[in-house]
């Protein structure tokens, strides 16, 4: 038998009455709590929120008011972070491949800290933002991470010092080293190996009198999506914090780029059943959002969600599908659900990251409405 949380159901029904569906309800309190949880678990690490996870203006404003920094990857993200109230010194332009126009715009706005991973990028930065502070991104193991990023980004660690020296010769200011262990990383060994590699580069840079005072440990901090999972963050954060203290003295500044960890738990995607059929000897329920909308993370982020309903009853294997005319738009097969009726609510918690950020208007269907709640 499926069981529902009556308190949550009443809150969601009230939001649906006021705002309709599909809707992404984003909790301001959870955003703040996740930010403080990160700071408490990793006290030496300054969080620079990765805007690509969820760029909603209300999310950015909430985090800016709480003193977070921002990892921006484009001119549009840069302008949105500044509009939310973040000062230029709390922004890092952390896309290693930047259009020349965006580099110029960053310089004009006083944003001087940025990453790179090739000589070609250094040449662009030197031309468009003379004197900028630059961080070399290195390639590190992404084993076991849901989304591997080292295939596309990062230089071999052995080349990091040479590139920082090249940056100095071009009139730029070498500032440090960065890495990313991959998205939704549950293998803490990735962080340990990456931190040890970064520490070797920092020590080598000091011997060569190359400034390298910042270590950016990237993002990838995991969250749980299912009620029966253990929360993966706290055990990993404890190991990371100890490794940071072991490897880096107080003169090294540590920053990170959490995105999913901050925004994911703050968002609940609320949908309604708009169609119903019997196919493959199972109930099929067609929802008013799907993989072309706020469930786009299923495709682009390899995300899996726990779907819940505001109805009790005996469960049966069911399929959830989205509202578009594409057969790709199947959300989940084999879901244990009670029989649903048209208009019934289906929702997924921990859906605040990589959902609206990659949603489309395919078939002319509007993405879910973002609603900020206390």
Helical segments of 42-182, H only: 57-65, 75-83, 100-108, 119-128, 160-169
Q: Determine how β-strand 267-279 pairs with β-strand 23-27.
A: antiparallel
Q: Determine how β-strand 267-279 pairs with β-strand 345-348.
A: antiparallel
Q: Are 322 and 292 in contact (CB under 8 A)?
A: yes
Q: Which residues are catalytic?
A: 325
> Of 51, 34, 122, whose CA–CA distance to 90 is shortest?
51
> Of 90, 94, 127, whose CA–CA distance to 109 is shortest?
90
Which residue has 């084999």 as its token pair? 334
Which residue has 């968002």 as its token pair? 267
Q: Which long-range contacts (CB under 8 A, 24 or more apart) does 86-90 make?
A: 86/60, 88/112, 90/48
CA distances in angstroms from 176 to 138, 147, 202, 253, 369, listed in the order given: 11, 25, 8, 9, 40
Distance of CA 69 to the CA centre of its chain: 14
Instruction: Report the alpha-carbon distance of residue 27 to residue 40 in Å, rounded.
Output: 20
Q: Determine how β-strand 282-287 pairs with β-strand 330-338.
A: unpaired
Token pair in block for residue 237: 């954060």
Secondary structure E strands in 68-218? 69-72, 91-93, 113-116, 133-137, 173-178, 214-216
DSSP 8-state assignment for residue 288: S
């Amino acid at each position: 038998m499926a069981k529902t949380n009556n308190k949550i159901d009443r809150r969601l029904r009230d939001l649906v009455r006021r705002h309709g569906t599909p809707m992404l309800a984003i909790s301001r309190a959870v955003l703040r709590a996740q930010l403080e949880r990160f700071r408490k678990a990793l006290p030496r690490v300054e969080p620079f929120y990765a805007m690509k996870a969820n760029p909603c203006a209300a999310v950015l404003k909430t985090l800016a008011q709480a003193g977070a920094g921002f990892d921006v990857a484009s001119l549009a993200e840069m302008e949105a972070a500044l509009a939310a109230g973040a000062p230029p010194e709390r922004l890092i332009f952390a896309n290693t491949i930047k259009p020349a126009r965006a580099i110029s715009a960053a310089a004009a706005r006083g944003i001087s800290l940025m990453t790179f991973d090739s000589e070609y990028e250094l040449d662009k930065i030197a031309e468009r933002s003379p004197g900028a502070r630059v961080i070399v991104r290195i390639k590190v193991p992404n084993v076991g991470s849901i989304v591997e990023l080292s295939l596309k980004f990062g230089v071999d660690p052995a080349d990091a010092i040479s590139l920082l020296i090249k940056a100095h010769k071009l009139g730029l200011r070498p500032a440090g080293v960065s890495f990313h262990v991959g998205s939704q990383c549950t293998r803490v060994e990735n962080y340990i190996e990456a931190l040890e590699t970064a520490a070797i580069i920092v020590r080598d840079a000091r011997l060569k009198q190359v400034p390298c005072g910042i270590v950016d440990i990237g993002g990838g901090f995991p969250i749980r999506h299912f009620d029966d999972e253990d929360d993966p963050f706290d055990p990993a954060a404890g190991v990371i914090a100890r490794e940071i203290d072991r490897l880096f003295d107080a003169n090294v500044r540590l920053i990170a780029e959490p995105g999913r960890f901050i925004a994911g738990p703050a968002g609940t995607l609320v949908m309604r059943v708009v169609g119903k059929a019997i196919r493959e000897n199972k109930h099929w329920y067609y929802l008013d959002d799907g993989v072309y909308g706020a469930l786009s993370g299923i495709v682009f982020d390899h995300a899996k969600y726990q779907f819940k309903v505001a109805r009790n009853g005996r469960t049966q294997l069911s399929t959830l599908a989205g509202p578009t005319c594409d057969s790709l738009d199947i959300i989940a097969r084999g879901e244990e659900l009670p029989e649903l009726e048209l208009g019934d609510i289906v929702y997924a918690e921990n859906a605040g990251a990589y959902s609206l950020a990659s949603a489309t208007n395919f078939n002319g269907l509007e993405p879910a409405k973002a609603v900020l709640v206390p």
